[in-house]
Amino acid sequence: MAIKFQYNKTYLQQLNRELKVRENALPTLVAKESALRVEVKKAKEQAHELEARIAKEREALASANCLWTEMPEGLVKIDKLSVTVKKIAGVKTPVLDHASFNIARYSLATKAAWIPEGVEILKNIAELKISLELAKKKVSILEYARKKTTQKVNLYEKVQIPEYKEAVRKIKRFMEDEDNLAKSSQKILKVKIAAEAAA
């Protein structure tokens, strides 16, 4: 991306302003990028932790697999999810606040005695799975934001700031050369006028 400019004071001032904006924004962007890197790492660890908890729950229930056939189908359904938005380094991410479940009516007399405990186990696993999905979504949102911030940092640091500096340097050099030429022509003109006056 080559910067288009003209060799005059107006463009020099405009380029200096643009350069200053980018130089002032760069430290903030670098800080945001490093904060996002840390948050991505934390979010990934949180997702892995949730996966491990789900695996542990499943492992603990593996010995009772035959009992789950007694559980009535459709007994536990998700009724409502309350998801809040949490800003992390200026990026909005979803967080599970609360999950409410709809439990179908059933008779304690005709069903196994462990069914109420099974309902609580299902609710717990469902909540863990929902939290895991939101944690994965959070990771992807934060990674995308970090990638975009890294691109912007690189654009400013490696492309735009050097180009603006180079353009400012060229305009200044051109204006200095123009000024020197004007002074030289004035001196030559003075010498000619003085020579003609002497003659």
Give the domain CATH number at 55. 1.10.287.3240
Give, for 10, the enclosing helix (H) or strand (E).
helix 9-61
* 98: nearest Cα among 112, 119, 82, 115: 82
**What token pair was written down for 126?**
């469902």
User: Residues near 152 by Cβ (< 8 Å), separated by ≥ 6?
Assistant: 29
Instruction: Evaluate whether residue 76 is within a structural domain.
Output: yes
The pLDDT assigned to 131 comes to 93
CA gap 46, 39 in Å, rounded: 10
Return d(Cα 10, Cα 24) in angstroms, integer. 21
Q: Given this model, what pLDDT does residue 48 score?
A: 96
pLDDT given at position 188: 87
Q: Has residue 3 been placed in a domain?
A: no
Question: Which tokens is 30 given?
Answer: 């670098």
Q: Which pLDDT score is estimated for 110? A: 63
Sign of the alpha-carbon torsion through 164, 166, 167, 171: positive
pLDDT value of residue 189? 84
Segments forming the whole domain that contains residue 109: 9-190
The answer as to whether 199 is a domain residue is no
pLDDT on residue 51: 95
Cross-strand pairs, 86? 93
Spatial neighbors of 173 by CB under 8 A, at least 6 apart, are: none
Note whether residue 156 is domain-resident.
yes
**Within-domain flag for 148:** yes
The number of folded domains in the chain is 1
Confidence (pLDDT) at 109: 63
Q: 49 in a domain, yes or no? A: yes
- What amino acid occupies position 124? N
Does residue 182 fall inside a structural domain?
yes
Those residues of the chain that have pLDDT short of 50 are: none
What element of type H or E holds 187?
helix 161-198
